[in-house]
């Protein structure tokens, strides 16, 4: 038993230092890619790979924030609505008010972050359970998003905005994909190497131990919800660029996709284990799966069933592995 533990740690620490705990999902992703390579003739190509990257940008940015929230044992159901609110604020400020995009984007992100601030304060100061606080914010943010234009979409963004999602710089990266990659890298570094990131593991592991160890649990918790909402807003900017329009009905049930990506990536819903490395793999699994199923001409309804099955598979495999 002892030897087994040692071996497992040696493997995790030595070979894949940045993927601790996410080796299972990684193997799953590789198997999935291999399968699609043989099952379709279009899957294995640079162009298709770039397509997958483009398709996961919104989910990828959002899931990073969700990972931090789940890492401290919380949940954020509001991200989909917050994303829509940020998009509508952007459209309103730029198209209706006439503000330049350089100003409208930061203000839209600020509006998103404020949602997280409210949720964080509700959770820490008023002891509202995270599920309830963010459920309320989900409803409030969606309502506000709809109120801005009475449910109408807004169009009329500058051409360069849409080009961010289309033009591949160096024939490779669109700016929106670059944003996602930057978020991934900053998130990974923060979570693994910053003081503030390590603290999240302590809080998720046992908030009382963390508090007694002199960690400012309340401040860290508020900060995490603010960052999560900010990233939801950022994913809204990415989606607005991709669609070249904004509408208040965007992002319905995106929070569930984000949670699915985090969970598939091996982060435990009870907090304290997992991380952004796993979430990136989780996002890729969902992206590759959707792409592959489209290539295989599987109906969208069947795709939902399959993604549900993958969530179950990922979590039970992880639980089983841990028990062994």
Q: Which stretch binds other proteins (CB under 8 A): 64-72, 211-219, 226-234, 300-308?
A: 211-219
Other Cβ atoms less than 10 A from the Cβ of 245: the count is 17
Q: Which stretch binds other proteins (CB under 8 A): 21-29, 42-50, 82-90, 206-214?
A: 206-214
42 versus 192: smaller Cβ distance to other proteins? 192
Q: Does 214 bind other proteins (CB under 8 A)?
A: yes
Distance of CA 83 to the CA centre of its chain: 12
Rounded CA gap, 190 and 172, in Å? 27
Q: Does 150 bind other proteins (CB under 8 A)?
A: no
CB of 35 to other proteins, least distance (A): 34
Rounded CA gap, 231 and 134, in Å? 15
4 versus 150: smaller Cβ distance to other proteins? 4
9 versus 316: smaller Cβ distance to other proteins? 9
168 versus 194: smaller Cβ distance to other proteins? 194
Q: Does 194 bind other proteins (CB under 8 A)?
A: yes
CB of 213 to other proteins, least distance (A): 4
Rounded CA gap, 79 and 82, in Å? 5
Q: Which residues, numbered 235-294, are part of the site for other proteins (CB under 8 A)?
A: 272-273
Closest C-alpha among 54, 72, 94 to residue 210? 72
Rounded CA gap, 228 and 33, in Å? 30
Of 41, 102, 150, 208, the one binding other proteins (CB under 8 A) is 208
What DSSP line would sit under 117-180, residue for residue? HHHHHHHHHS---HHHHHHHHHHHHHHHHHHHHTT--EE---HHHHHTTT--BTTTB-HHHHHH
48 versus 273: smaller Cβ distance to other proteins? 273
Q: Does 18 bind other proteins (CB under 8 A)?
A: no
Of 37, 45, 139, 216, the one binding other proteins (CB under 8 A) is 216
Q: How far is CA 236 from CA 114, 164, 203, 252, in A?
A: 15, 14, 29, 12
25 versus 197: smaller Cβ distance to other proteins? 197
Of 47, 195, 323, 324, the one binding other proteins (CB under 8 A) is 195
Q: Contact 240/151 with Cβ under 8 angstroms?
A: no
CB of 6 to other proteins, least distance (A): 8
């Amino acid at each position: 038993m002892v030897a087994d533990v040692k071996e497992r740690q040696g493997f995790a620490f030595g070979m894949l230092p940045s993927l601790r705990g996410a080796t299972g999902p990684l193997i799953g992703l590789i198997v999935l890619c291999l399968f699609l390579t043989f099952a379709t003739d279009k899957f294995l190509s640079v162009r298709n790979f770039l397509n997958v990257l483009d398709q996961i940008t919104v989910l990828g940015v959002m899931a990073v924030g969700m990972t931090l929230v789940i890492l401290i044992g919380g949940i954020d159901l509001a991200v989909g609505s917050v994303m829509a609110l940020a998009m509508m604020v952007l459209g309103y400020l730029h198209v209706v008010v006439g503000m330049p995009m350089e100003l409208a984007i930061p203000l839209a992100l600020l509006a998103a972050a404020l949602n997280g601030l409210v949720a964080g304060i509700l959770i820490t100061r008023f002891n509202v359970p995270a599920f309830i606080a963010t459920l309320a914010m989900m409803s409030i943010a969606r309502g506000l998003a709809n109120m801005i234009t009475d449910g109408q979409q807004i169009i009329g963004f500058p051409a360069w905005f849409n080009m961010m999602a289309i033009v591949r710089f160096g024939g490779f990266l669109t700016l929106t994909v670059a944003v996602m990659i930057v978020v991934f890298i900053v998130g990974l570094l923060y979570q693994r190497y910053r003081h503030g990131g390590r603290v999240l593991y302590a809080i998720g592991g046992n908030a009382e131990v963390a508090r007694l160890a002199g960690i400012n649990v309340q401040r860290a918790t508020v900060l995490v919800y603010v960052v999560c909402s900010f990233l939801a807003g950022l994913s809204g900017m990415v989606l607005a660029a991709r669609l070249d329009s904004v509408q208040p009905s965007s992002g319905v049930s995106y929070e569930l996709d984000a949670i699915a990506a985090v969970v598939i990536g091996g982060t435990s819903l009870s907090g304290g284990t997992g991380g952004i490395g796993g979430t990136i793999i989780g996002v890729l699994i969902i992206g590759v799966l959707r792409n592959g199923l489209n290539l295989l001409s599987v109906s969208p309804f069947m795709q939902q069933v399959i993604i549900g099955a993958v969530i179950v598979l990922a979590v039970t495999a992880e639980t089983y592995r841990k028990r062994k």
